[in-house]
Amino acid sequence: MTAPLILGTNSIKDEGYEVANSVRLDSSSTAYLSRTVNLTQGTTSQHKFTISCWFKLGKTGQTNGEIFGAHGSNDYFAVRVQNGNKIDIISYDNATKGRLTTTQLLRDHSAWYHIVVACDSNNASGTNRMRLYLNGSEVTDFSTDTNPSSGADIIAENMDEFNIGRNIDQVGGAGLFDGYITEFVYIDNDQLEPSYFGEFDEDTGIWKPKDLSELSQLSNTFSFYLDFEDSSNLGNDVSGNNLDFTSNNLTSIDQTTDTPTNNYCTLNPLYPVTTFSYSDGNCKGTSSSSYKGTARGTIGIQDSGKWFFEVKITSSDGSGVGISAEDMDANTWQPSSGTFVIYLNSGNKVVNGTSTSYGATYGDGDIIGVAYNSDDAEITFYKNGVSQGTITGLTTGKVMFPSISDTSTSGDAIFECNFGNPTFTISSGNSDGNGFGNFEYAPPTNYFSLCSSNLAEYG
């Protein structure tokens, strides 16, 4: 059993270590980091090392979504998200030398996970030569449990490229990780336990990150630490060893503040809507032209707090932006019953199934702001920063989620949702009153972005 996850609705309000940034890897953009290495230089240990990082899953159904890999022409070592969202660790050199595949599935796309892979093929205990930990606890239940032989090179000398987010081996096929990664650490020549990288919160029992800046093992010659805090150089190694990685198909917009210590809302790929596909860390939703439907966010709000988010309309066909409750059938868009408020591109508003005139029409390139006052049961929509009027008397007592809707079957509707970590370029830059989020237009006074730090205070 693993420890509790860092959830979108967690209530940790901690004065301890804060992770500043993560990198958002979008598989549809072939985004990854890479470094050419020379493992024959005599300064590395191919049989003893530790990998630690935090990650948050993006799209569902990833195939060999590689978190980390060392690759050569015919062999590789990989830590990846396997079919069915299992963790798969494999050392391969013309044949499998070691492999651990979990029975446990990673089902939660709103949570941050912490993984530690600790290897030492010289360990006297065969079952301890490859060890896996999730959220501070060791995983011992595997569908495949093959341990390397004593003294085996788990990472072989001819593996000449390290990758974060991409699988380039010529044996197992290509695979890209989709989601977020932060606090990536590779420790050479040490097999370490999770307590070096994280700790359990005394009040909640939630596993949380520790400050790694003074981790002594970072001085090992081939160790590296990527914190993703330099938006102009996302592969910057801050260990002191200067083992920088090259960013591939990444820009400064792929640096986010969605981290294990401040988890932001995204679109929820597990929400049972058949019309939408997701990309850019589940912040971009694309609806098929053949269907109508609604997608919603991972964080819900019930009668507490004032909240703000933006949606850039990339393709406006039949688009709608708003909030909806769980009793709304997402696959019919406008059911005969259910609780929802939507601002349509036609300018109308739809409140619980009743459509009336409201504000201006909007189209491609427009940014719709949503200010939801759940304290007073009212909502205000903005078109490019201009208020379209406040809608009052909303239904109370229900959990309401940020929502995007496709109301037409004549073309695709494409939305880029900004819950504080935009996928589109921001020309101005505005945060909420607590300093969180990056918005094109300033949130109204006392309205806050949907992230766990704000939820702990106002949710």
Q: Over the stretch 397-416, which tens digit does the pLDDT of each residue have?
A: 999 999 999 887 777 889 99
Tokens 């380039």 found at: 168
pLDDT of residue 43: 62
Exposed (0-12), middle (13-18) or buried (19+): which is 397, by Cβ within 10 Å? exposed
Nearest to 23 by CA among 246, 320, 337: 246
pTM of the model: 0.94
Computed on alpha carbons and rounded to an integer, the radius of gyration of the chain in Å comes to 23
Q: Kindly state the DSSP code that residue 313 receives in the 8-state scheme.
A: E
Rounded to the nearest angstrom, the gap between the alpha carbon of residue 341 and the centroid of all alpha carbons in its chain is 27
**CATH (residue range 22-256):** 2.60.120.200
Please write the tens of the pLDDT for every residue from 429-444. 999 999 999 999 999 9
Nearest to 148 by CA among 193, 220, 196, 100: 100
Strand partners, 208: 199
Q: Comparing 303 with 274, which gets the higher pLDDT? A: 303
Q: Kindly state the DSSP code that residue 148 receives in the 8-state scheme.
A: P
pLDDT band, very low/low/confident/very high, at 4 (cuts 50, 70, 90)? very low
Please write the tens of the pLDDT for every residue from 371-405. 999 999 999 999 999 999 999 999 999 999 999 99
State which fold the 276-458 domain adopts.
Answer: Jelly Rolls (2.60.120)
* Model confidence at 169: pLDDT above 70: no
End-to-end CA distance of the chain: 29
Residue 153 CB partners (closer than 8 Å, separation 6+): 46, 47, 93, 121
Residue 351: CA count within 13 A, CB half-sphere: 14
pLDDT of residue 41: 67
Integer Cα distance of 153 and 361 in angstroms = 63
Please write the tens of the pLDDT for every residue from 331-361. 766 655 579 999 999 999 999 989 999 999 9
Tokens 């996970």 found at: 113
pLDDT of residue 436: 97
pLDDT of residue 317: 80
pLDDT of residue 109: 94
Average pLDDT, the chain: 90
Domain ranges of the chain: 22-256, 276-458
pLDDT band, very low/low/confident/very high, at 8 (cuts 50, 70, 90)? very low
pLDDT of residue 173: 46
b vs e for 236-256, b when ≥16 Cβ sit within 10 Å of the residue's Cβ?
bbbbebebbbebbebeebbbb
Integer Cα distance of 346 and 189 in angstroms = 62
Please write the tens of the pLDDT for every residue from 79-108. 999 887 899 999 998 899 999 999 999 989
CB 321 within 8 A of CB 415: yes
pLDDT of residue 39: 77
pLDDT of residue 412: 81
Please write the tens of the pLDDT for every residue from 106-160. 989 999 999 999 999 999 998 999 999 999 999 999 999 999 999 999 998 778 8
pLDDT band, very low/low/confident/very high, at 188 (cuts 50, 70, 90)? very high
Residue 248: CA count within 13 A, CB half-sphere: 16
Query: HEC string of 379-407?
Result: EEEEECCEEEEEECCCCCCCCEEEEEEEC
pLDDT of residue 14: 52
Same topology for domains 22-256 and 276-458, yes or no? yes
Q: Give how far Cα 306 sits from Cα of 66, 117, 164, 459, Å.
A: 38, 41, 38, 9
pLDDT of residue 445: 97
pLDDT of residue 152: 92
Please write the tens of the pLDDT for every residue from 219-273. 998 999 999 999 999 999 999 999 999 999 999 999 999 999 999 999 999 987 7
Integer Cα distance of 80 and 64 in angstroms = 6
